[in-house]
Structure 1
């Protein structure tokens, strides 16, 4: 394997697992399965886009043999796939299997497939093993690592879920070759988040190299840097019980509100960019962030990446969705704010008027 990076994520609840990052690492799945011995019946969850692009490649990755067979569950390529409908549909299909099939799951796709597949694995027979093979930049640097799994409800995003760590993550950057530039942008919004909360050098790297990243050039360095940050945070606070892992939600509380308020017409990456800007303005209003230049730099990098800095959704509609967020605990408002690059802070009991003011910074329709 050329230009291979390997990280081991060690958590208390399950065995440590490896994250392999490089070109064509998914082609070695069979060797990994021989070592891991996860089962004899692999259920591959993927979407129609990935399957149509890589149908021939899939035959090289998922090899039927005397040891194991594979079956595909090909799902729509949309956020709405993370739903009770597809959850129960797949579980009912699995219920027809016999005791001879020792099931393991493979999530071959972006964040939606990883979230849904991981959640199914966590509840099928009270927990089954699964492997992540993320195919988007967003899922490679973020959602495939750390064991957060979930589905959406009509009332909000990721409201039903669990912590369930994968047995293996194969981050094959060759899948990014067919990824449209819009999807590279999606991942870059999460990368900016990592830079702001943990790594000044990473933030500066994105500022200087955003155009090259959009052209898919220094991707290995970018992915490895982000995954390393997330690995270190998850190892310290796997289940978000100590407030350490919570910082990964920087910008996400308002982002999830935007996604929900738009009925998921606004993508996750775009929503995260707006959520980050809003959180920075709230940080400034709260007196936590002293340097307004950080906001201007962040807005500038998002604009250069190609994101809009304002959207046409009513402030109150976003606020109503934000109030349902699972990160608001015991009736208290709770956001991750920023003191400086690399210094996030969890803040509770923020006035609703302050949050609304932060949301108004990113909307063209600020009032009801």
Structure 2
């Protein structure tokens, strides 16, 4: 069994419910939860077989421990692996995974278990949403970014040459298990990238949580109770938004703070994780969103500066110039933005802010306004 599963007994578990009527589910949060999760799976889904979808890195790191725990709980499991990285969110990998799940004879009452970061979760969730017209999904996210964002809320999908996550479906999981001890194996870069999504929740509508992050971010990285608190706070915030607006018809769009910029940057860097990973793009996007708000007279320079200063203190990028190899021209970035899912009738939608914890949806932003701002960023911050 993996050393992480043997190192310590399961810590006290935090349970965050996601209230969606007949599609409601729980998020279980705590250290050393893999075997606890296996017991929960066995009790909640009696007789179900499982297909564990993971990537080739995690296949040796965490999958054996999960398989052992499932076996002890009496759950038969098959393992399917994909290559790591954003490039796996493709038509080709999606097709291969669906065929693999069918070959494993996964039926509608069985389970697809996504063991991995956002790529594994998004791809597995999309496959689960269409396999036999929908099979149950369990998310066991292994990255900080996936634990606080992509594993919760039912968004699944793959990328297109036209942009990120443009092909997909809403498919709520039946269970989410956030074992925060799994984050101990992340690289410093991966953990910091995920932290950008943690901070986002304070910037959206919880200024007190942003204050807490400024004081406690080092302890979150060290893995003490502050880490569990940060993950639980983020999950509660997302669960509340998803319960109000499951399919992003209203204020769920606030969760995209910084993402209009971020997705454009990811597209322009061709999803090359050596240059830029999602959380790093989000950190730049958050900084740009607050500076854009400042430029439009919506937000004080003090708040915009405070956001960038905190992200920089953590070690995250905050400027377009921080993208290795460059982010392209202002026209390149605006063109990439026009393929964003939040574009309506050609006009851009941004999440902007009146201050920290005071974000709002700003539809109908003219492309010329965005172009002028981005151009000023590229020129003034060299």
TM-score computed with the length of structure 2 as normaliser: 0.89
Counterparts of 1:181-220 in structure 2, within 5 Å, are 181-217=188-224, 218-220=226-228
**Aligned-pair Cα RMSD in Å:** 2.2
Q: Is 1:59 equivalent to 2:67 in the alignment?
A: yes
Q: Residue in 2 aligned with 1:2?
A: 11
Residue 53 of structure 1 and its aligned partner are, at CA, apart by 1.7
Q: Is 1:351 equivalent to 2:358 in the alignment?
A: no
Report the more deviating stretch, 98-107 or 122-131.
Answer: 98-107
Residue 313 of structure 1 and its aligned partner are, at CA, apart by 1.5
Residue 361 of structure 1 and its aligned partner are, at CA, apart by 5.6
Report the more deviating stretch, 90-99 or 188-197.
Answer: 90-99
Q: Residue in 2 aligned with 1:11?
A: 20
Quick one: distance in 2 between partners of 1:55 and 1:263?
29
Quick one: distance in 2 between partners of 1:365 and 1:121?
47
Report the more deviating stretch, 68-77 or 296-305.
Answer: 68-77
Deviations 1:148-205 (A, max 9, x none): 1111012210001111110001110110111111111011111111110121111111
Residue 38 of structure 1 and its aligned partner are, at CA, apart by 6.6
In the alignment, structure 1 segments of 5+ residues that lack a partner are none
Quick one: distance in 1 between partners of 2:188 and 2:34?
22
Residue 288 of structure 1 and its aligned partner are, at CA, apart by 2.3
Mapped contact 1:288–1:338 kept (Cα < 8 A): yes
Instruction: Provide the secondary structure at the position in 2 that maps to 1:345.
Output: strand
Q: Residue in 2 aligned with 1:302?
A: 311
Deviations 1:53-102 (A, max 9, x none): 2354233333177x642111111110111111110111123334558785
In the alignment, structure 2 segments of 5+ residues that lack a partner are 1-9
Q: Is 1:223 equivalent to 2:237 in the alignment?
A: no
Q: Which among 322, 327, 340 is matched to residue 313 of structure 1?
A: 327
Mapped contact 2:347–2:367 kept (Cα < 8 A): no
Instruction: Provide the secondary structure at the position in 1 that maps to 2:339.
Output: coil
Mapped contact 1:141–1:226 kept (Cα < 8 A): yes
Q: Is 1:240 equivalent to 2:248 in the alignment?
A: yes
Q: Residue in 2 aligned with 1:275?
A: 285
Mapped contact 2:57–2:84 kept (Cα < 8 A): yes
Distance 1:92 1:335, change over 3 A: same
Mapped contact 1:39–1:104 kept (Cα < 8 A): no
Distance 1:97 1:365, change over 3 A: farther
Instruction: Provide the secondary structure at the position in 2 that maps to 1:177.
Output: helix
Quick one: distance in 2 between partners of 1:344 and 1:309?
18
Q: Is 1:41 equivalent to 2:55 in the alignment?
A: no
Residue 237 of structure 1 and its aligned partner are, at CA, apart by 0.6
Number of residue-to-residue matches in the alignment:
363
Counterparts of 1:1-368 in structure 2, within 5 Å, are 1-12=10-21, 14-37=22-45, 40-63=48-71, 68-96=75-103, 102-217=109-224, 218-241=226-249, 243-265=250-272, 266-289=276-299, 291-310=300-319, 311=321, 312-314=326-328, 315-360=330-375, 363=378
Residue 284 of structure 1 and its aligned partner are, at CA, apart by 1.9
Instruction: Provide the secondary structure at the position in 1 that maps to 2:113.
Output: strand
Structure with a larger share of its residues in helix: 2
Deviations 1:213-268 (A, max 9, x none): 33333211111111111111111111111x21010001001100000101112110
